[in-house]
Amino acid sequence: MTPRQLRALCLSFDAAVEEFPFNPETSVFKVRGKLFALTNLDATPLTVNLKCDPEEAIRLRTEHPDLIVPGYHMNKRHWNTVTADGPSPTPDPGTDRGLVRPGRGGTAEGGAAETRPAVTYADALRAHSELD
C-alpha cells in the first residue's frame, strides 16, 4: 500500500478527517472526533497505528507477526502498528478480518460503533489492488 492509498482508505469513511495535532509529519485520522489511525505518510517503511479490539489485536499479531505488532508509542492493548507497505495479508475466504474495530472495547468515551470506521482486511486489500 502506498501513502496515497493509505490516506484514501482512511478518508473513505463517512465524516473522516485528517488532522495534524502533534506535528506536520504525523497524519491523525478521526471520525467525529475519535482517533482511529495515525501515521507518518513519508516514513519508510510505511506503518500505521490502528485502533483495535483488544482480543482481535492479539489474534492479528499472532497471525501476522511480520506485519502487525503492538502499537508503537500507544496503549498496546488497544492499538496495533501495521506495516502498510509490506506484503498484503490474505484473509480467510468469506470472513471479515478486521484490522480495526474502533467501537468495541477500546474507547473510554464510548460512542456508537456505527459513527466510527471499521477498517478490514477486505478494505486494505481492495485499496492495495485498486488504487494507484
C-alpha span between 55 and 77 (Å, rounded): 8
Q: Compute, in degrees rounded to 10, the torsion defined by CA atoms 121, 3, 26, 118.
A: -20
pLDDT in tens, the chain (132 residues): 889 989 998 898 888 999 999 999 999 999 889 998 999 999 999 999 988 888 888 888 898 888 889 888 887 878 899 898 866 554 433 222 345 333 433 333 344 444 444 455 445 544 444 444
- Count: domains in the chain: 1
Residue 9 — φ and ψ, nearest 5°? -65, -50
Model's pTM, two decimal places?
Answer: 0.70
